Chains A and B, each alone.
Chain A
Amino acid sequence: MTSKMTRAMVVGGLFVALMGIVVMLVFGKTGEEDIHQAINLHVEKITRLDARLNNSVLLLRAGISQNIDPINDDLQGILIAIKAASKTTIKLKQMGHHVHSFMMAMSELETAFHAREDGILRFVSEHAKLRNSVSYFKGVGQDLVAANSGLPVNPKTAVNALVLAMLDYVQTTGTHARQDFEGRLAALNDPRMPAEFAAPMHSLEVHGRKILEFLPKINHWMTGILNSPFTQAAHLVPRELLAHRRAHAGKHNFHRSLWIGVAFVLSLLLAWILLRLYRSRDALNVQVREAAGELEDEVLRRVQTEADYQSIFENAVEGIVLTTPEGKFARANPACAKMLGYDTPEELMSSITDIAAEIWVDRNERNAMLDDLRRDSEAHVEVRMYRKDGGFIWVSMSVSAKYDDDGGLEFVEAILLDITERRASEVNLKAAKEEAGSADMAKSSFLSSMSHELRTPLNAIIGFSQLLTSSKKLGLADKQKRMVDQILSSGQHLLALIDQVLDFSKIDAGQIDVNIVDVSADRICHDCVETASMLARAAEFDLVYAADGRDLPMVRADPTRLRQIILNLLSNAIKYNRPKGHAVLDCTEQSNGYARFEVTDTGEGIAKSLHEKVFVPFERLNQQTGPIEGSEIGLALSKRIADIMNAKMGFVSATGTGSTFWVDVPISSGIADRPKDETGTIISEIAPTDA
């Protein structure tokens, strides 16, 4: 829309509005006529009810109606109408009318009403009493006249005349009638009246006196009612209303003309000013709009950012808190309050006055953190903080600094994470580890001392068994000899087992000593073959030393321990071989600086699924129920010893084709390079551990 069109529309609109005002002022109604109408209706109702009130009073007085409900209803109706008229008059006043004289008339009317009402109520009250006495008087009189034939004629006539005189007086209230009634009442004490009529006569007199007492009062109230100032005041109200309307209409016409003129001039002025304004505005318009647009965008963006931030702040799981360096809270989010055991952030902020003292368990940590912040503007700490209940939590806190314009630290903003549980689990883990370690040590030392205790008696058993077999003096029978041999071999087996257990536990307990020296591989091999050949022979078994005659290197090892390993491998190769099978010991120099001692058997081989368990202590693989005796820890022990000597152990095996176990021992200095990657047929290898 161009600015010209806008201008035309505004000026056009202004003109239409102006015309509207003029039309309204000239022809319009302002609602005051409706108000006058309403007041008129109320006043009409007042005068109507008031007139009916007089009728009701007259009817009651005349004895035609006995009902006083209409009187009460009309009095109530008049009061309501007066109140309503007054209320409506106030509306006129609120419209700026001068309604003083009219309001005065209404106020007089209300005062007059209360006087009138009071008169009517007192009239009603007196009239009831009169009615009562008249009725009683009439009743007694008629009873006397009608029921007592024994009454002498003269008194009978006297009573009859008395009742008629009473009625005459009550109805006419004339002075003569009163005198007549009074006279007859006084003449009741006729000596001819029989004594038994004394009581009714007395009643007649009492009520007669009451009638004489009530009637003037009733007349008094009646006169008041019929000449009530209220009735006159009620007539004045419409007159006042009319006067007010006339006065106001005149004033109103003058005002109206004045206002039309003023409105017209003002409108012209306004139109001229607007046109001027539009002209100057056009130049600035675009510029201003752009600036305004930018500003609006910026405001919207900020509002959005602020809203986003607020949402994050309120709903974050992490505690977010803004504090002053002096230790006061500036802001805190609900998560933070909850973390520290408070119901709301407000509660937290109002109950804490010094964070360093009341929140931080160690205020020095806070000072250190502030120092860090002043230096780096960011910090990360794990500290303890007090909760509301007095306990503390571990908190991981990422802190960043907010600086004021002078570069001083103004606020510390921190994101808090409750890490109490994590800390607790860390501590528990450490403790559990230590506990487990010490248990292991205890086990090992137990085993080592136990083995020692076992070996002493076992040595005695073996020694005496040997004595028995070798002594010819004793002359043992063959059967006895076989039994002693059994004791001896069992004892020796047990001793070997205990030695192994001892070694194993010593390794575990870190008590084993290895004495690594340069030793000839050939020598080692020969020693082993020599020792094992006895076993092989006993088992009718071929043991082949394949490297016999080759030039073997020197290796770095504990000779005793290396022999132990190779012998273990050889004895296994013999034990777990098939009948008539054979075992081969070989030694070759590897390219990686190791000499490999290799024992190959022709046994069943080891199933692939069991390879992992080969070096695990007390595992006999699939042989648990087999006939071959042996300890379950030989290979595991060998592996441990090899590890200690920086040697490596491994094997190749497949079911049906037999197994090859090997141990690689470092070759003496100068010859060996650094170890290379393992290749070839090796499918399982356990490297020496760091420990």
Chain B
Amino acid sequence: MVKFDVWRAVLVGIFLVACMALAGTASATESRPQNDGSILPIPLTTNVDPDRAALGEKLFNDPRLSRGDVFACATCHQLDQGGDDGLARAVTNKGHADIFNTPTVFNSVYNFRQNWAGPFRTLEEQAIGAFTNPRHGNTTPAAAVRKLQRIPEYQIAFKAVYPTDGLTVDNLLNALAVYQKSLITPNAPFDQFPRGDSAAISADEKMGFELFRDHGCISCHLGRNVGGGMFQKVGVHLQYFTDRKTTQADLGRYTATGKEEDKHVFRVPSLRNVEVTAPYFHDGSISTLESAVTTMGKIQLGIDLSSDDVALIVKFLKTLTGEFRGRSLAAGK
């Protein structure tokens, strides 16, 4: 059985390599496809357990999960603010500015890693990180569970949702993760377009997408989350961190792996709902979408985008703003 799988894989590989030449030459001359499958729509529904999600929502909004009852998940991840806090950098439990910009919680389930440096594989791991971060939860999941055990309401709720073992660390993390899995924003105009609604995006927006694709933005910003699927160095063509004082946050993935090649490497952020998650970049140093697009073109693609192109690309990016609970995220801003 096992051997067969491997051989099949190798055979497919050989076949594909053989096909490559044909495909490559063909694509050099054919007309450009609208969306070559790089960007996939967000599903309209999730199949998460609604009871667990409801419990997770309560926990997500409860500051008692943190030491001193000061900090809830929702303190930084505000659903009416695009899933983040609208600030350049997150606020610590002491009220100071943290080192990273808050990533949005929306669609975070589709990120292959969580956070800018990508230290967390899963939402559960991310939650542990938030609990134990001295600047955020400043506690541990176990301590939070002990605290919640003194609240009869949670005792009852956990027993109802997790009948076998009730309130445990695993179930606490699970409830939070399940809730976040429910925080998806389907039905963005760009997602409606391939479903057959040709009026969902305008000619300008379409042109913006083509620029986005042809200039190569799409090489990294792709997949369900239009990003969030790979690590990439900031400064492919031009060094970005030379003309400024480098901070801890600027080291990126290096802070998680300690490998030299991971310096200034970040998880490519999702561009979904980018319209409502200003300011931009890992440290929130860029305040407008236009500026972000221009900077990205310069340092990542090695091109100086014209202001017209930038405007069109921004128009396209705004078609990535989805709906949460039937309401466009842009409506709240």
In the complex, which residues of chain A have a beta carbon less than 8 angstroms from the beta carbon of B229? 68-69, 72, 124
A59 an interface residue at 8 Å Cβ cutoff?
Answer: yes
- In contact, A132 and B216 (Cβ under 8 angstroms): yes
Report the stretch among A136-144, A350-358, A411-419, A550-558 that lies at the interface: A136-144
A189 an interface residue at 8 Å Cβ cutoff?
Answer: no
Partner of B20, one of A129, A133, A135, A171: A171
Partner of A125, one of B5, B37, B216, B231: B231
In the complex, which residues of chain A have a beta carbon less than 8 angstroms from the beta carbon of B37? 65-67
- In contact, A136 and B2 (Cβ under 8 angstroms): no
Q: How far is the CB of A57 from chain B (nearest CB, A)?
A: 9
A104 an interface residue at 8 Å Cβ cutoff?
Answer: no
Q: CA A510 – CA B16 in complex, angstroms? A: 140
Q: CA A172 – CA B22 in complex, angstroms? A: 12
Q: How far is the CB of B270 from chain A (nearest CB, A)?
A: 12
- In contact, A125 and B24 (Cβ under 8 angstroms): no
Q: In chain B, residues 185-210, which have Cβ atoms closer than 8 Å to a Cβ of chain A?
A: none
Partner of B219, one of A48, A72, A128, A138: A128
Report the stretch among B6-14, B76-84, B144-152 that lies at the interface: B6-14
Residue of B nearest to A70 (CB): B223
Q: CA A304 – CA B227 in complex, angstroms? A: 75
- In contact, B21 and A238 (Cβ under 8 angstroms): no
Q: In chain B, residues 130-173, which have Cβ atoms closer than 8 Å to a Cβ of chain A?
A: none
B302 an interface residue at 8 Å Cβ cutoff?
Answer: yes
Partner of A132, one of B3, B20, B301: B301
A295 an interface residue at 8 Å Cβ cutoff?
Answer: no
Given the interface pairs A125-B230, A133-B216, the reply to whether A167 lies near B25 with Cβ below 8 Å is yes
In the complex, which residues of chain B have a beta carbon less than 8 angstroms from the beta carbon of A235? 2-3, 6
Partner of A66, one of B8, B38, B233: B38
Given the interface pairs A121-B230, A135-B216, A136-B215, the reply to whether A170 lies near B6 with Cβ below 8 Å is no
Q: CA A231 – CA B218 in complex, angstroms? A: 31
A163 an interface residue at 8 Å Cβ cutoff?
Answer: yes
- In contact, B13 and A124 (Cβ under 8 angstroms): no
In the complex, which residues of chain A have a beta carbon less than 8 angstroms from the beta carbon of B10? 54
Q: How far is the CB of B210 from chain A (nearest CB, A)?
A: 11
In the complex, which residues of chain B have a beta carbon less than 8 angstroms from the beta carbon of A172? 21
- In contact, A63 and B222 (Cβ under 8 angstroms): no
| Most central of A124, A234, A235, A238 by chain B CB within 10 Å | A124
- In contact, A131 and B223 (Cβ under 8 angstroms): no
A260 an interface residue at 8 Å Cβ cutoff?
Answer: no
Given the interface pairs A44-B2, A47-B6, A63-B27, the reply to whether A68 lies near B222 with Cβ below 8 Å is yes
B112 an interface residue at 8 Å Cβ cutoff?
Answer: yes
- In contact, B230 and A128 (Cβ under 8 angstroms): yes
B256 an interface residue at 8 Å Cβ cutoff?
Answer: no
Q: CA A207 – CA B218 in complex, angstroms? A: 17
Q: CA A183 – CA B131 in complex, angstroms? A: 57
Residue of B nearest to A129 (CB): B236
- In contact, A121 and B19 (Cβ under 8 angstroms): no
B23 an interface residue at 8 Å Cβ cutoff?
Answer: yes
- In contact, A55 and B214 (Cβ under 8 angstroms): no
Residue of B nearest to A120 (CB): B230
B220 an interface residue at 8 Å Cβ cutoff?
Answer: yes
In the complex, which residues of chain A have a beta carbon less than 8 angstroms from the beta carbon of B215? 136
Q: CA A437 – CA B295 in complex, angstroms? A: 110
- In contact, A131 and B19 (Cβ under 8 angstroms): no
Q: CA A44 – CA B219 in complex, angstroms? A: 33
A654 an interface residue at 8 Å Cβ cutoff?
Answer: no
In the complex, which residues of chain B have a beta carbon less than 8 angstroms from the beta carbon of A68? 222-223, 229-230
In the complex, which residues of chain A have a beta carbon less than 8 angstroms from the beta carbon of B20? 61-64, 171
A226 an interface residue at 8 Å Cβ cutoff?
Answer: yes
- In contact, B223 and A69 (Cβ under 8 angstroms): yes
Partner of B36, one of A66, A139, A234: A66
- In contact, B8 and A51 (Cβ under 8 angstroms): yes
| Most central of B20, B27, B224 by chain A CB within 10 Å | B20
- In contact, B13 and A69 (Cβ under 8 angstroms): no
Given the interface pairs A44-B1, A44-B2, A55-B13, the reply to whether A63 lies near B23 with Cβ below 8 Å is yes
Q: In chain A, residues 155-172, which have Cβ atoms closer than 8 Å to a Cβ of chain B?
A: 163-164, 167, 170-172
In the complex, which residues of chain A have a beta carbon less than 8 angstroms from the beta carbon of B231? 121, 125
Residue of A nearest to B35 (CB): A66
- In contact, B1 and A58 (Cβ under 8 angstroms): no
In the complex, which residues of chain B have a beta carbon less than 8 angstroms from the beta carbon of A207? 302
In the complex, which residues of chain A have a beta carbon less than 8 angstroms from the beta carbon of B300? 132
Given the interface pairs A44-B1, A55-B12, A132-B216, the reply to whether A125 lies near B17 with Cβ below 8 Å is no
Q: How far is the CB of A240 from chain B (nearest CB, A)?
A: 13
A514 an interface residue at 8 Å Cβ cutoff?
Answer: no
In the complex, which residues of chain B have a beta carbon less than 8 angstroms from the beta carbon of A164? 28
A206 an interface residue at 8 Å Cβ cutoff?
Answer: yes
- In contact, B19 and A55 (Cβ under 8 angstroms): no
A535 an interface residue at 8 Å Cβ cutoff?
Answer: no
Q: How far is the CB of A213 from chain B (nearest CB, A)?
A: 10
In the complex, which residues of chain A have a beta carbon less than 8 angstroms from the beta carbon of B48? none
Residue of A nearest to B233 (CB): A125
- In contact, A47 and B2 (Cβ under 8 angstroms): yes
| Binary CB contact string for chain A from 316 to 347 against chain B (1 if under 8 A, 0 otherwise) | 00000000000000000000000000000000
Q: CA A133 – CA B215 in complex, angstroms? A: 9
- In contact, B6 and A131 (Cβ under 8 angstroms): no
A396 an interface residue at 8 Å Cβ cutoff?
Answer: no
- In contact, A51 and B5 (Cβ under 8 angstroms): yes
In the complex, which residues of chain A have a beta carbon less than 8 angstroms from the beta carbon of B236? 129, 132
In the complex, which residues of chain A have a beta carbon less than 8 angstroms from the beta carbon of B19? 62, 64
- In contact, A69 and B224 (Cβ under 8 angstroms): yes
Q: CA A138 – CA B19 in complex, angstroms? A: 19
Residue of B nearest to A47 (CB): B2
B327 an interface residue at 8 Å Cβ cutoff?
Answer: no
In the complex, which residues of chain A have a beta carbon less than 8 angstroms from the beta carbon of B21? 171-172
Given the interface pairs A72-B112, A167-B28, the reply to whether A67 lies near B16 with Cβ below 8 Å is no
- In contact, A128 and B220 (Cβ under 8 angstroms): yes
Q: CA A632 – CA B201 in complex, angstroms? A: 121
| Most central of A121, A128, A133 by chain B CB within 10 Å | A128
A92 an interface residue at 8 Å Cβ cutoff?
Answer: no
- In contact, B112 and A203 (Cβ under 8 angstroms): no
- In contact, A58 and B24 (Cβ under 8 angstroms): no
Q: How far is the CB of B1 from chain A (nearest CB, A)?
A: 7
Residue of A nearest to B118 (CB): A121
Q: CA A52 – CA B6 in complex, angstroms? A: 9
Q: How far is the CB of B139 from chain A (nearest CB, A)?
A: 25
Q: CA A171 – CA B38 in complex, angstroms? A: 20
Q: CA A207 – CA B13 in complex, angstroms? A: 28
- In contact, B28 and A58 (Cβ under 8 angstroms): no
Q: How far is the CB of A244 from chain B (nearest CB, A)?
A: 17
Q: CA A351 – CA B189 in complex, angstroms? A: 75
Q: In chain A, residues 8-64, which have Cβ atoms closer than 8 Å to a Cβ of chain B?
A: 44, 47-48, 51-52, 54-55, 58-59, 61-64
Q: How far is the CB of B10 from chain A (nearest CB, A)?
A: 8
Q: CA A135 – CA B210 in complex, angstroms? A: 12
Q: How far is the CB of B302 from chain A (nearest CB, A)?
A: 6
| Binary CB contact string for chain A from 219 to 256 against chain B (1 if under 8 A, 0 otherwise) | 00000001000010011001000000000000000000
A257 an interface residue at 8 Å Cβ cutoff?
Answer: no
Residue of B nearest to A53 (CB): B9
| Binary CB contact string for chain B from 229 to 251 against chain A (1 if under 8 A, 0 otherwise) | 11111001100000000000000
Given the interface pairs A48-B5, A64-B19, A76-B112, the reply to whether A139 lies near B301 with Cβ below 8 Å is no
- In contact, A128 and B2 (Cβ under 8 angstroms): no
A79 an interface residue at 8 Å Cβ cutoff?
Answer: yes
Q: In chain A, residues 162-196, which have Cβ atoms closer than 8 Å to a Cβ of chain B?
A: 163-164, 167, 170-172
List 7 additional contacts besides A51-B6, A64-B16, A171-B21; criterion CB under 8 Å: A44-B2, A58-B17, A66-B38, A76-B121, A125-B231, A206-B237, A210-B302
* 9 chain-A/chain-B pairs, Cβ below 8 angstroms: A44-B2, A61-B20, A121-B230, A121-B231, A124-B229, A129-B232, A135-B216, A136-B303, A203-B302
B-to-A contact residues, CB < 8 Å? 1-3, 5-6, 8-10, 12-13, 16-17, 19-21, 23-25, 27-28, 36-38, 40, 110, 112, 121-122, 214-216, 218-220, 222-224, 229-233, 236-237, 265, 300-303
